[in-house]
Amino acid sequence: MKIFALIAIIIFAFHNTASADNEQNFYTLNRHNGLSDNCIWQLLQLGDGRMVSVTPHSVDIFDGQGITTVEIDTSMYMTIPLYNGATHIFADPNQLLWIKQWRHLYCIDLKTLSQRKFDDWDSYDFYIDGNGETWHLKPGKLCAANSARILDFSDIDGILQDVVSSDGQIFTFWDSGLLAVFDVNGNFAYQTAAYSGDSIRLYNQTSLVVSGPDAKLYQVRTGEGGSILMSFDADTHNWQQILSGSFMMHTLTLTPSNFIYITTSDGYIKIDAKTLERQQFSTLFLPDGTALTTGINTVCNDREGGIWLGTYNNGLLYSSPLSGLFDTQPLDIEVEPILTTVYMHGRPLQTGAEYDGRVLMEFAPPYIEKLVFKHSENSPAFQFSTMNYVRPRATFYRYRFSGGDNQEHIISADSSGNFVNDKGIFYFPLVALSPGSYTLEVAASTNPNNWQNAKIKTITFIIESPWWHTKIAYLFYALLLTAVGVVIIKKRHKKTEVPSAETVPEPEPTAQTPTTQEPTTPEPSAQEKEFMARATSLVEQHLSDTQYGVEQLAADLCMERTGLYKKLTAMIQQSPVAFIRSIRLHRAAAMIAQKECSISEISERTGFGSVSYFSKCFQKEFGCKPSEYGG
């Protein structure tokens, strides 16, 4: 599959990167790995760690194991007439992704992976500051969307280009080089100009600002005179010119170690913000030694310390701050678990799709917080990844499943439970759950002994009771028993009446009161659930092994064959052979739904000896041929 090839490329790349100092070594992520386009206009890292890249026609979201693409409908835009810059993207606290492109504004709902349009839009421009506040530019003023704050611009001439919040102040940058500063309540504080005279005309087209340490702001401006990089000290109110030239500076980022990265049509420039020493990288190298000379559109420094570059036609380039795959030094990067997929009976659930007449997932992973399943949908599975690109095997997960198993477990690719594979992906299957409420809590870390600051992803879900265990059913049972009781009482009352002398009826047989036996579903114990999860995981690890059968499964579970047979038939009314075959078939169904492999490839990967036997078993299990499954 594509994602396995992607992860393999990542591992190979980092294994062949000699050191973090050689920043010319990159690995590529392009259309062969799932990107929708090799032309990258802009990059952004979301709060959960996922990377967003904007291409000419779509948005690609990389979650550490796969890429989700949302097509951009160019007819669904809001007009922002005062924005004349290139692509600029923001993510707000409501999980909306905003894309500004030359007077057009697009909105992508990350929860539903759909595009939105606001028909009552009347803003001249749109900004999101460093605190997540949304601002709308109106004539002579800037209005905060989530509060009553209004910045009065009636005395300022020019076009507003950027808005940044830092250290309790609001900084507004104008096309004339003017900086007007307001306090947190929106009151004017002071203004200063970066330059004057002819420089206003030379650099009045676009602006990009990032916040740095020590109350400093860094700004790139462009115009007919080329580009200029400046810094502003909010404590002293002083400007400093760092770099200028006739070439075009596209985007910039500032790393926690205080290095500035600027992209250009000839590569990128790295500047030490303290000493102002700079290096220029025009020729980049791939892991196999191939030299790559390309223009760089955009740059992003992720929270793990890696550098992402978006190119004109070579997709994404990534350079890691860590060394190779076999580096034994402990990792010290912040990761968090990302819910990537929810499965039901081995089949991935689709966002917004109906299952048996109702939508199970209203929001896309990882935004799912609560799910409700019918009693027949009692075997869900959850898959997680992290953005640990370098050494995925060094990713540790900690989980607690309450409602069943309340114990905490720490697992990795080297754990005996084998819930985490070599790609750092955590797959947590659940089998034959009883009706009730459940909670799954998952944390991730690169250090199994340090969970102090680990972020926890919590998922709650409900397995509904069958209809015969619902309140309505119990009410029906009560009414039925009441009716039967009334009939019996009437009959007994009739028998006690004194018969007339003319007619003495024959004594009637005594009626028996019918009894109602409510069906019950035994509650599996925590040990039984753990046993089923281990058995399922073992089978899934050996899917492609046609020789893996009952004997091997029993041995891996430290049981005799007869003991395994008795346990499975008692718990799920399935023989071990049927149990193994069912898991293979449900995994095959999931592969068919993804439409990435042929039927013969899927048959081989799921351990069936022949396509004909696979088709026969599949039709018996699902009632249709493999080629007909999933439409």
Write out pLDDT tens, residues 136-168. 999 999 999 988 899 999 999 999 999 999 989
Say how many domains are in the chain.
2
Look at residue 16 in the predicted model and tell me its pLDDT: 38
Note whether 416 and 558 are same-domain residues.
Answer: no
Note whether 365 and 474 are same-domain residues.
Answer: yes
Bridge partners of 58? 71
For 506-535, what is the mean pLDDT? Answer: 61
Look at residue 518 in the predicted model and tell me its pLDDT: 44
Angstrom distances, CA of residue 606 to CA of 51, 358, 587, 618: 32, 30, 7, 12
For 344-355, what is the mean pLDDT? Answer: 90
Cis check for the bond before 522: say yes or no (omega within 30 of 0): no
Residue 399 lies in a domain: yes
Whether the pLDDT of residue 605 is over 70: the answer is yes
Residue 12 lies in a domain: no
For 386-399, what is the mean pLDDT? Answer: 85
For 251-258, what is the mean pLDDT? Answer: 92
CA gap 582, 532 in Å, rounded: 13
Taking alpha carbons only, the member of 177, 183, 136 closest to residue 158 is 177
Look at residue 416 in the predicted model and tell me its pLDDT: 67
Q: How far is residue 331 CA from its own chain's centroid?
A: 23
| Chosen domain end from 446, 465, 489 | 489
Q: What is the mean pLDDT of the chain?
A: 85
Residue 384 lies in a domain: yes
Residue 385 lies in a domain: yes
Residue 579 lies in a domain: yes
Note whether 342 and 447 are same-domain residues.
Answer: yes
Q: Tell me, what CATH number does 616's domain have?
A: 1.10.10.60
Contacts of 427 by beta carbon, 8 Å cutoff, 6+ apart: 381, 382, 383, 419, 420, 421, 537, 540
The DSSP bridge pattern shows strands 456-463 and 436-445 to be: antiparallel
CA gap 433, 521 in Å, rounded: 10
| Chosen domain end from 426, 460, 489 | 489
Note whether 484 and 548 are same-domain residues.
Answer: no
**Which of 22-26, 388-392, 454-458, 477-481 has the highest average model confidence (pLDDT)?**
454-458
For 324-338, what is the mean pLDDT? Answer: 66
Note whether 553 and 418 are same-domain residues.
Answer: no
CA gap 419, 442 in Å, rounded: 13
Q: How far is residue 607 CA from its own chain's centroid?
A: 30
| The two structure tokens encoding residue 100 | 């500004």
**Which of 243-247, 354-358, 398-402, 464-468 has the highest average model confidence (pLDDT)?**
243-247
Taking alpha carbons only, the member of 570, 566, 564, 571 closest to residue 538 is 564
Bridge partners of 547? none
Could you report the per-residue pLDDT of 470-497, keeping only the tens digit for each? Answer: 667 777 778 888 888 788 887 777 766 5
Residue 94, number of CB atoms within 10 A of its CB: 11
Could you report the per-residue pLDDT of 59-108, keeping only the tens digit for each? Answer: 999 998 889 999 999 999 999 999 988 899 999 999 999 999 999 999 99
| Chosen domain end from 462, 489, 516 | 489
Look at residue 185 in the predicted model and tell me its pLDDT: 92
Note whether 484 and 547 are same-domain residues.
Answer: no
CA gap 304, 389 in Å, rounded: 9
Note whether 345 and 466 are same-domain residues.
Answer: yes
Residue 84 lies in a domain: no
Containing H/E element for 239?
A: strand 238-245
CA gap 20, 431 in Å, rounded: 44
Look at residue 522 in the predicted model and tell me its pLDDT: 62
Note whether 431 and 347 are same-domain residues.
Answer: yes
Look at residue 410 in the predicted model and tell me its pLDDT: 84
Look at residue 189 in the predicted model and tell me its pLDDT: 97
For 569-595, what is the mean pLDDT? Answer: 87
CA gap 218, 209 in Å, rounded: 6
Look at residue 519 in the predicted model and tell me its pLDDT: 47
Q: How far apart are the first and last CA of the chain?
A: 21
For 618-626, what is the mean pLDDT? Answer: 87
Could you report the per-residue pLDDT of 158-195, keeping only the tens digit for each? Answer: 999 999 999 899 999 999 999 999 999 999 999 999 99
Note whether 439 and 587 are same-domain residues.
Answer: no
Note whether 360 and 484 are same-domain residues.
Answer: yes
Note whether 349 and 415 are same-domain residues.
Answer: yes
For 307-333, what is the mean pLDDT? Answer: 74
Note whether 350 and 428 are same-domain residues.
Answer: yes
What are the strands of the beta sheet with 27-29, ordered from one edge?
A: 27-29, 316-319, 307-311, 296-301
Q: Tell me, what CATH number does 452's domain have?
A: 2.60.40.10
Q: Which of 85-94, 284-293, 498-507 has the lowest mean pLDDT?
A: 498-507
Residue 65 lies in a domain: no
pTM above 0.85, yes or no: no
Could you report the per-residue pLDDT of 33-73, keeping only the tens digit for each? Answer: 899 999 999 999 999 999 999 999 999 999 988 899 999 99
Could you tell me if 230 and 240 are in contact, meaning their C-beta atoms sit under 8 angstroms apart?
Answer: yes
Domain range for 479: 330-489
pLDDT band, very low/low/confident/very high, at 18 (cuts 50, 70, 90): very low
Could you report the per-residue pLDDT of 404-444, keeping only the tens digit for each? Answer: 555 677 888 877 667 898 889 999 998 888 899 999 999 99
pLDDT band, very low/low/confident/very high, at 329 (cuts 50, 70, 90): low
CA gap 218, 120 in Å, rounded: 35
Residue 381 lies in a domain: yes
Q: Which of 125-134, 239-248, 337-346, 531-540 has the lowest mean pLDDT?
A: 531-540
